[in-house]
Amino acid sequence: MTGVNRLDGGLIDRTKPMRFTFDGIGFTGFEGDTLASALLANDVRLMGRSFKYHRPRGPMTSGSEEPNALVALRSGARKEPNTRATTAELFAGLSATSQNRWPSLRWDAMAVNDRLSQFFAAGFYYKTFMWPAAFWEKVYEPIIRRAAGLGTLSHEPDPDSYDKGFLHCDLLVIGTGPSGLMAALTAARAGADVIIADEDFLPGGRLSAETHMIEGQSGAAWAAASVAELQALPNVRVMTRSTVIGAFDHGIYGVVERVSDHLKEPFAGKPRQILWRVYSKRAILAAGATERPIVFENNDRPGIMLASAVRAYVNRWAVTPARQVAIFTNNDDGHRTARDLAAKGVDVTAVIDTRLDAPTSADYQVIAGGVVVQTWGRLGLTQIEVRTPKGESLRIPCGALGVSGGWNPNVHLTCHQGARPVWNDTIAAFVPGNSLPPGLIPTGAADGAFSTYEALSSGQKAAHVALSDLGIPHKVSDLPEAEDAPVNITPFWHVASAKRAWVDQQNDVTAKDVQLAHQENFVSVEHLKRYTTLGMATDQGKTSNTAGLAIMADIAGKSIPEVGTTMFRPPYTPTAIGVLAGRARDEDFRPIRKTPSHVWAEEQGAVFVEVGMWLRAQWFPKPGETHWRQSVDREVLQTRKSVGICDVTTLGKIDVQGTDAAAFLNKVYCNGFAQLPVGRTRYGLMLREDAIAMDDGTAARLAEDHFVVTTTTANAVPVYRHMEFVRQCLFPDMDVQLISTTEAWAQFAVAGPKSRALLQQIIDPPFDISNDAFPFMACAEITVTGGLRARLFRISFSGELAFEIAVPTRYGDALMRRMMDVGAGFDVVAYGTEALSVMRIEKGHAAGNELNGTTTALNLGMGRMVSKKKDAIGSTLSEREGLTEGDALKLVGLKPVDPDHNVPAGAHLMTKGATVSAANDQGYVTSACFSPNLGCHIGLAYLKSGDSRMGEIIRLVSPLTGVDHDVEVVSAHFVDPKGERLRA
Amino acid sequence: MLIHHPLLGPRDASEFVYKGDAALIHRPDWQSEDAQAQFADYGYLRDNPAGPLRELWFHEQGDRSWLVVTRDTTSHEITSVELASDVARREARAT
Amino acid sequence: MRYSGFNVIKQALSGHKGWGPAWRDVTPKESYDYVIIGGGGHGLATAYYLAKQFKQSRIAVLEKGWIGGGNVGRNTTIIRSNYLLDGNQPFYEFSLQLWEGLEQELNYNAMVSQRGILNLIHSDAQRDAFIRRGNAMILHGADAELLSTRQILRRYPFLNVNNARFPIQGGLAQHRGGTVRHDAVAWGYARAADQCGVDIIQNCEVTGFRIENGTCLGVETTQGFIGTKKVAACVAGSSSRLMALAGMRLPIESHVLQAFVSEGLKPVLPGVITFGAGHFYCSQSDKGGLVFGGDIDGYNSYAQRGNLPVVEDVCEGGMAIFPMLGRARLLRMWGGIMDMSMDGSPIIDKTHIDGLYFNGGWCYGGFKATPASGYVYAHLLATDTPHHTAAAYRFDRFAKGRMIDEKGVGNQPNLH
């Protein structure tokens, strides 16, 4: 069961047969086959349906530029829609299904579109579907959407994993055809570090598909020998199944390696694909060229292919697409296919060459000056009609027609940094232009040098240029003998008399559509493309752009370069989103940062919450507690009654050292720090240069030239960045150094009436933390538990008598356990971020919700903290009129009038009695909680002129959540407003 | 992109954080007559050239130095990289 | 000829010969009353409303390339009016209402699809912020709804809820938000403006302003000098280099934003969805491609392309909420030039030069603003007073301390 269309020879391994299925039917192929070659071997030409008209289609190409033979590979969670059968490597057990057809490939109900095609001309949908207005979303759009798209995504998570890697080299060679191999050999033999990559699984480029000889051996054998030499060299990395998807700045290339797409499943633990970032000093684009077809009547039937694809199937895969094959060409290259077919005993029924001076042959008839004007065979080509220069009409039987309209150099990567390709009349194609990505040298067919010898020669030359640039000495060696046929092409793009001729086969854009675009003044290449969708399908116009331009040029009476050319952008071929995401998915999407007491907290059964990338204990439920409020209320009450401990390591800490440390902090904080005594801490408000409050915290002066600054958790990184900016860029002459110590110190808040007593159990004598010796806002470097160095700060976020104690991080866990242990005697409770939040709201402390990036010191009620006596970041712009309006927002507290009501964050505030509308908006609630101390919900809010509206009853509204009730404006300092407990 | 750090050699730009025009080094004198206008200009108006631009990058995942990078905004070509503190000392007013 | 289903059928049956140019090819006159620089969505919309709504004439639109070739042709097509601040929300709501009637107004099917936009919530703080925003939307007369995770899963059953690093906790939805076929907007406004007598002049680049005694007399272009009473600049990411020709510096930096489209797929995403714990937003075009994007690259650029780190970041965000996305393929990526302003909000204002007006600073949010931007700019040009929804978009708001800063990040454009 070798397949009826198999020929002798080829580069497949007949000792490894493989069973596979397509649309449920089983077939056999061989290792080395693609799905397309194996299907063609089994006489299957029909592989897909086109996008708009659902016309039956077969493969047009043998490579990644394929527009038609798109199948769904695999099923279930691994299903890959829109897979090109022409590049899908065959593996045993492969299962593929056709797309975009119902109920079957052979009989597709939507093919009715083809009969109604005149109604579906380019852009028709812009001219209709507007009435009635409501029908767009309800009727028209759902139909259009269901008809659109080709493949279906399974809704299941992608089960495969993807890796990312980084590679460095002197020279990246893109392509393993003759030019690329020659370049790599030249550079590698000179000792350069070389990476050579090819998207194909078999290196060799076109050599695998042609019958050229190189230095007496077959091109394929020469390629194999070259690859073997390269693979044996320690300074070379050969990457197959690896597509260079983009040329990014500064010699950085993205390369996607398909590690296991040719296997039924990835090996256990191995990724499906890898995204390599290659840092190259120089790069050579040896990406070859892609053939383009000619446009003629019904030129899209299964069996009509590029002539070079027919040749590839014959020579590399030992498959003829049909028993009788014809050729339609405008250049010498098309004849190669006829010769190769004839050499393998395939019946070449005609070569139709548009040139009157076409070369003749003894082996098959050549119709010089002929054009194909009609084709038959809806589900597979059966015959064509040719018009001769004399006006005769000939019917030629054929099951496949190889079409050659010339070759387009694969210039794509040269355009990734904005360069436009330029038109070359000799080969009638675009070639790389000027201002290429720095360091990238195009060679071989990619540069318009089409013969094998030219490819070898230009590859060697490019390598020499690169080696010279890199300062690597090298010798010039002889080039192997190879064919050097010139390009003989007479441009012929389309048969003008055709009524239905396809330019972009996937999107069903016809020559008539190009005509219509011109008629409606969409004449620039940009407009042509967008209006007709030519070149916008999954093949990105690789085989259709040039014909589209040529037809437009014809109609508009311009030259092709005058019409223009579209830009090529990454990725070179469509790339799995999974490989671009890599391992950063699911729980590994971002790192998890854990506090020093995390393990201890887990042991206590804490509930955790994300705070940025940190996991912090939110509350510690005790047995019997079923609702979070029970835990949080308990933690709050117990802390305020005896003592509570909270891990506050996540807050930013920055060490500031130097003789100018105080002067530096004076610049960074809007309030004064120059006179802060040693051993004291001060609250600091940091403004942005635009006077908006950026962050707040404390600065503790441990020595004349040593401060410790704290920040909020969220701003630890940005504040540090900002402080370094101020230090390095604004005041570079100050003697001050900074370092972030957030992760270096474990820090705990110990708060409540018994906090001093607890700490006295661990602080090494003779250090005295009585109220006289260590008053509110004192700080010191001390030792605890018999010699462990620590820092102690008497600061309070909760409003209770409180301290924060810091030890080197690696002792954090032990300290937490020790304090909880000795604290048992003082009724200690561990509290989480929720209780922390409740207490600071009860105290009226601003936090992240209040410092939301749009509020000033004035809004916070700290206007007077902005010193006018010194220069600090933000002070000058704080005086702008917009920031000092009479009715500026002010931070206030809110209490519900009805104690059963809440005060939801995000609610807006209206004056009582005013209509609920934006015009009457007076402010908004920033923070809210249930206060177990007050026995009701409370909140903090910004209210216009809030500080002079104490006691006023206003209306709190949240229409989004259906809340509308009265609240009383009160002081934000709900608990201990006089600060007596703080100072105890 | 690659930034050739004057001390550390070539580093991937993703190790850095971008701030903006290096003109930010030239902070106005708070005591000048029209200080507010000068600060508004300094804070809000930019040349934003299509061409070479001196800009500030912070090596956040490296040595935490601020760099002044001269880069063409149309081609992304980088022609010079200096330590910002060197530039600041050389160019800015005394505090 | 009027666009209608009837005419589509009639033309189809007679070989499509009746369709004429969507807009005329015109050589510029020596002078106009209004010259609009920039043939993108905003410029064309301005010309249309200036002619149709404000009954002005002698209007020209100058486009240095082909109309619609800039950001209007390359965006992620989202429309919405879910802004927080008083300076913004009325404007975007006005724009959404104009979108709702646009096709009938222009007689062009721009495929305005109000399929809904959903902003996912991943933390309490985020929920609070979204509640504040949803309330602002409702107070300003727009629609908003807070959805639970369960409600969301009914519409998006494939969202990652079991293994997410930052689990979804709900979302803020605006049902009237959605997508539009972006190219059609440019073409629709161009055709309608052309039918009102506006001259659309392509391949005409402005190379200078003729300014005498503080008054702008016209523009120097690659097709010669064009005199006019009023010049309206409307060029998005090119604003700084254009206005530099008038000696102006702007509160704008030009940055690259990358956008992405996948291969065409059968319908899978019903609406527009944004990820709240990373930079990623996504919708599905009517042709089947998933259209998605994320954050700007972060450095000033006019190169219209970006680098790999953002591509990876965006795809990571996509995989975080749709793990099925791994099997879909990125088809094409491109970059535009965003005019990032100093507070993330636009500027639509006169300049200090008589007769020279400015519209820019749209950051990456200009597409949804297209109809309203055109309308209010036409209002300003015709009446010399700002439309009430755009009254705060002034140049002097920065010096005066009246910033309109949705994100709260201050005077650093790349943070907006």
Mean pLDDT in consecutive groups of 10 residues from the start of chain A, 984 residues = 85 97 97 98 96 94 97 91 95 95 91 88 89 86 86 90 98 98 98 98 97 95 98 98 98 98 92 98 98 98 98 98 97 96 96 96 95 97 97 97 97 95 95 94 98 98 98 94 94 94 96 95 92 94 95 94 87 96 96 98 97 97 97 98 98 98 98 96 98 98 98 97 98 97 98 98 97 97 98 95 98 98 97 98 96 98 95 97 97 97 97 93 98 97 98 98 97 93 91
CB A200 within 8 A of CB A241: yes
Q: C68 and A576 in contact by Cβ < 8 A?
A: no
Residues of chain C numbered 166-185 and touching chain A (CB < 8 Å): 166, 181, 183-184
CB A919 within 8 A of CB A934: no
Alpha carbon of A441 to those of A189, A242, A282, A479: distances in Å? 19, 19, 8, 19
Give first-to-last CA distance, chain B, whole Å.
34
Q: B44 and C300 in contact by Cβ < 8 A?
A: no
CA distance C347 to chain A (A): 17
pLDDT at position C312 is 98
- From the list A815, A774, A809, A816, the residue with the least C-alpha distance to A795 is A774
Over residues A235-286, the pLDDT tens digits come to 999 999 999 999 999 999 999 999 999 999 999 999 999 999 999 999 999 9
pLDDT at position A171 is 98
Contacts of residue A527, Cβ cutoff 8 Å, sequence gap at least 6: A517, A521, C66, C68
pLDDT at position A847 is 95
Contacts of residue A528, Cβ cutoff 8 Å, sequence gap at least 6: A514, A517, A518, A522, A534, A548, A549, A552, A563
Q: B55 and C299 in contact by Cβ < 8 A?
A: yes
| Distance from chain centroid for Cα C291 | 15
pLDDT band at B93 (very low <50, low <70, confident <90, very high): low
- Identity of residue A341: L
Query: Number of A:C CB contacts under 8 A?
Result: 363
Nearest by CB: A728 against B60, B78, B84: B84
Q: Count Cβ atoms below 10 Å from residue A111 Cβ, excluding itself.
A: 16
**Residue C111: its chain A contacts at CB < 8 A?**
125, 129, 136, 141
Nearest by CB: B36 against A417, A728, A879: A879
Q: What are phi and psi of B54, to 5 degrees?
A: -95, 125
Q: B49 and C240 in contact by Cβ < 8 A?
A: yes
pLDDT at position A137 is 86
| CA closest to B29 among chain A residues | A871
CB C43 within 8 A of CB C239: no
Tokens representing A167 are 């590679």
State how beta strands A429-431 and C199-201 pair: unpaired
**Residue B56: its chain A contacts at CB < 8 A?**
725, 729
Q: C300 and B55 in contact by Cβ < 8 A?
A: yes
Question: In the predicted model, what is the mean pLDDT of residues C109-119?
Answer: 96
Q: Count Cβ atoms below 10 Å from residue C211 Cβ, excluding itself.
A: 18
- From the list A681, A717, A669, the residue with the least C-alpha distance to A791 is A681
Q: A730 and B92 in contact by Cβ < 8 A?
A: yes
The CA distance from C170 to C175, in Å, is 15
The secondary structure of A769-818 as a DSSP string is -STTTS-TTBEEEEEETTTEEEEEE---SSSSSEEEEEEEGGGHHHHHHH
CB A59 within 8 A of CB A69: yes
| CA closest to B12 among chain C residues | C309
The CA distance from A792 to A852, in Å, is 30
Residues of chain C numbered 187-246 and touching chain A (CB < 8 Å): 187-188, 202
Q: pLDDT at residue B95 above 60?
A: no
**Residue B21: its chain C contacts at CB < 8 A?**
253, 300
Q: B55 and C398 in contact by Cβ < 8 A?
A: no
Instruction: Provide the mean pLDDT of chain C.
Output: 97
**Residue A249: its chain C contacts at CB < 8 A?**
307
Nearest by CB: A250 against B1, B25, B86: B1
Chains touching chain C, criterion 3+ CB pairs below 8 Å: A, B
Question: In the predicted model, what is the mean pLDDT of residues C182-202?
Answer: 97
The CA distance from A726 to A732, in Å, is 8
pLDDT at position B67 is 98
Contact residues of B toward C, CB < 8 A: 1, 13-14, 17-21, 36-37, 40, 43-50, 53, 55, 71, 73-76
Over residues C323-371, the pLDDT tens digits come to 999 999 999 999 999 999 999 999 999 999 999 999 999 999 999 999 9
Alpha carbon of C268 to those of A151, A155, C314, C328: distances in Å? 11, 8, 19, 12
Contact residues of A toward B, CB < 8 A: 248-252, 279, 417-418, 438, 689-690, 717, 721, 724-725, 728-734, 871, 875-877, 879-880
The CA distance from A127 to A139, in Å, is 16
Mutation site for A-interface testing, chosen from C19, C104, C135, C389 by largest number of A Cβ within 10 Å: C135
Residues of chain B numbered 30-89 and touching chain A (CB < 8 Å): 30-31, 35-36, 39-40, 43, 56, 58, 60, 64-66, 75-78, 83-86, 88-89
pLDDT at position C123 is 96
CA distance C232 to chain A (A): 25
Q: A154 and C327 in contact by Cβ < 8 A?
A: yes
pLDDT at position A435 is 86
Q: B13 and C299 in contact by Cβ < 8 A?
A: yes
Judged by DSSP in three states, A494 sits in strand
Q: C103 and A884 in contact by Cβ < 8 A?
A: no
Contacts of residue A824, Cβ cutoff 8 Å, sequence gap at least 6: none
Upstream peptide bond of A775 is cis (omega within 30 degrees of 0)? no
Does an H or E element contain A21, and which?
Answer: strand A13-22
Q: Give the largest CA-CA distance in chain A.
A: 116
CB C307 within 8 A of CB A249: yes
Q: pLDDT at residue B94 above 60?
A: no
Mutation site for C-interface testing, chosen from A580, A851, A925 by largest number of C Cβ within 10 Å: A580
Q: C135 and A908 in contact by Cβ < 8 A?
A: yes
CA distance B5 to chain C (A): 17
Judged by DSSP in three states, A101 sits in coil
pLDDT at position A2 is 63
Instruction: Provide the mean pLDDT of chain B.
Output: 96
- Enumerate the H helices of C293-414 as residue ranges: 308-321, 370-383, 397-400
Q: B73 and C241 in contact by Cβ < 8 A?
A: no
Mutation site for C-interface testing, chosen from B44, B47, B74 by largest number of C Cβ within 10 Å: B44
* Sign of the dihedral defined by the CA atoms of residues C75, C406, C88, B50, in that order: negative
pLDDT at position A585 is 94
Tokens representing A462 are 């490019």
pLDDT at position B19 is 98
The CA distance from A942 to C285, in Å, is 42
C349/B contact by beta carbon, under 8 A: no
The CA distance from C51 to C49, in Å, is 5
State how beta strands B66-72 and B52-58 pair: antiparallel
pLDDT at position A166 is 98
Query: For residue C320, is it left (φ>0), alpha (ψ between -120 and 50) or beta?
Result: alpha
Mutation site for B-interface testing, chosen from C299, C301, C358, C414 by largest number of B Cβ within 10 Å: C299
Q: C128 and A249 in contact by Cβ < 8 A?
A: no
Q: pLDDT at residue C15 above 90?
A: no
pLDDT at position A771 is 96
Q: C303 and B75 in contact by Cβ < 8 A?
A: yes
The CA distance from A205 to A181, in Å, is 9
